[in-house]
Amino acid sequence: MAFNLQNIFSIFISVCLISSFFANHSLASPYDDELFAYGGFATALGTWYGDPNGAGSGGACGWADDVKSPPFSAMIAAGNARIFLQGKGCGECYQIKCNRQPYCSGKPVTVTITDECPGACNNVDYHFDLSGTAFGAMANPGQAYNLRNLGQVDVQFRRVPCNYGRTRIAFKIDGSVNPYWFSVKIEYADGVGALRSVEIAPAGTQNFVPMTNIWGAVWVANVNPSFKGPFSFRLTSTDNTVLVARNAIPSRFVPGQTYFSHVNF
């Protein structure tokens, strides 16, 4: 009997340990991972897409050709699934460098995640598909063409705070908004760069209404004709920092237009 009880107890302990292991891993978020803390460099595969001196794309995050202009200035990258995070990685910033000689300078360049690299990009744990401009920026002087000609190179990366200088958070209104549906793309967030939640309030109130993140950096809310601007926004970043952008969008806004707030993280 003692032998059987001991075996049963051992099995019980083993089941508890296994359950704990899977529970801890299933509850872990990408933001708990050491690779996504501000720390040392990890390894990844680096490639480039688009024109050799091009800006890549902001398509999967909703920013379209905004990546060509400051403050992105073509220094962007598409990330694979573990970086793009189904759009939750939009706006995060990374330092990326390569050391392959004689092509690479070994000096890090800073890029913003603005796009997704799907399919074969997920054959490795971490894959950055940089714009031609950003990929070439990793090169030694005179070696940008030769570096791009390699097609791919092993890189080191680390998460860093975003810093867009004097640029404030911007709100780009969807071209198809109507009195019952409001949609906005949010750009240029400093700090962690990505947003956990967004709320919108109409003129003269503090009654913030939750918005839904439908894809990338696109947030929407169901409204009604009485919901009028100027609109204020309460933004919560993925590190739970809260920021309020008051009267960021005027009452007579133009669909498709971008409006800059007076604040940033």
Q: Is the pLDDT of residue 23 over 70?
A: no
Q: What is the pLDDT of residue 21?
A: 37
Read off the pLDDT of each residue in 27-37 and give the average, rounded to a whole number: 45
- Measured from the Cβ of residue 256, the count of other Cβ atoms closer than 10 Å reads 11
Contact predicate 112/72, CB 8 Å: yes
pTM (two decimals): 0.85
DSSP per-residue string spanning 180-231: TEEEEEEE---BT--EEEEEEE-TT----EE-EEEETTEEEEE--TT--SSE
Q: How far is CA 90 from CA 17, 55, 85, 201, in A?
A: 36, 16, 8, 24
> CA 217, CA 72: separation in Å to the nearest integer?
15
Residues 144 and 176 occupy one common structural domain: no
Q: What is the pLDDT of residue 243?
A: 98
> CA 201, CA 248: separation in Å to the nearest integer?
10
Q: Among 132, 160, 188, which residue terminates a domain?
A: 160
Q: Among 96, 128, 160, which residue terminates a domain?
A: 160
Q: Which residues pair with 171 in a beta bridge?
A: 186, 259
Q: Is the pLDDT of residue 213 over 60?
A: yes
Region of poorest pLDDT, from 33-37, 108-112, 258-262: 33-37
Residue 226 lies in a domain: yes
Q: Among 160, 184, 202, which residue terminates a domain?
A: 160
What φ, ψ does residue 103 adopt, rounded to 5°? -80, -45
Q: What is the pLDDT of residue 25?
A: 34
What φ, ψ does residue 149 adopt, rounded to 5°? -65, -20
Residues 57 and 138 occupy one common structural domain: yes
Helix, strand and coil in the chain, % to nearest 5: 25, 35, 40
> CA 149, CA 130: separation in Å to the nearest integer?
14
> CA 182, CA 214: separation in Å to the nearest integer?
12
Residue 209 lies in a domain: yes
- Look at the block and give the residue holding tokens 């009195």: 179
Which structural domain, as residue segments, surrounds residue 192?
170-260
Q: What is the pLDDT of residue 35?
A: 52
Residues 39 and 137 occupy one common structural domain: yes
Residues 114 and 195 occupy one common structural domain: no
Q: What is the pLDDT of residue 14?
A: 41
Confidence of residue 39 (pLDDT cuts 50, 70, 90): confident
Residues 129 and 242 occupy one common structural domain: no
| CATH number for position 71 | 2.40.40.10
Q: Is the pLDDT of residue 195 over 90?
A: yes
3-state secondary structure of 121: helix
Residues 198 and 220 occupy one common structural domain: yes
| Cα four-point dihedral sign 82, 88, 94, 97 | positive
Residues 176 and 155 occupy one common structural domain: no
Residues 175 and 112 occupy one common structural domain: no
Q: Which residues pair with 191 in a beta bridge?
A: 162
Residues 156 and 239 occupy one common structural domain: no
> CA 92, CA 85: separation in Å to the nearest integer?
11
Contact predicate 217/90, CB 8 Å: yes
> CA 94, CA 144: separation in Å to the nearest integer?
20
Q: Is the pLDDT of residue 250 over 90?
A: yes
Helices and strands in the chain: count of H runs, count of E runs: 4, 15
Residue 26 lies in a domain: no
Across all residues in the chain, what is the average pLDDT?
89
Residue 11 lies in a domain: no
Read off the pLDDT of each residue in 172-180 and give the average, rounded to a whole number: 96
Residue 3 lies in a domain: no
Residue 24 lies in a domain: no
> Total structural domains in the chain?
2
More confident residue, 137 or 15: 137
Residues 53 and 138 occupy one common structural domain: yes
Q: Is the pLDDT of residue 217 over 50?
A: yes
Contact predicate 98/43, CB 8 Å: no
Q: What is the pLDDT of residue 36?
A: 56
| CATH number for position 243 | 2.60.40.760
Q: What is the pLDDT of residue 253?
A: 97
Read off the pLDDT of each residue in 80-101 and give the average, rounded to a whole number: 97
> CA 47, CA 150: separation in Å to the nearest integer?
9
Q: Is the pLDDT of residue 16 over 70?
A: no
Share of the chain above pLDDT 70, in %: 86
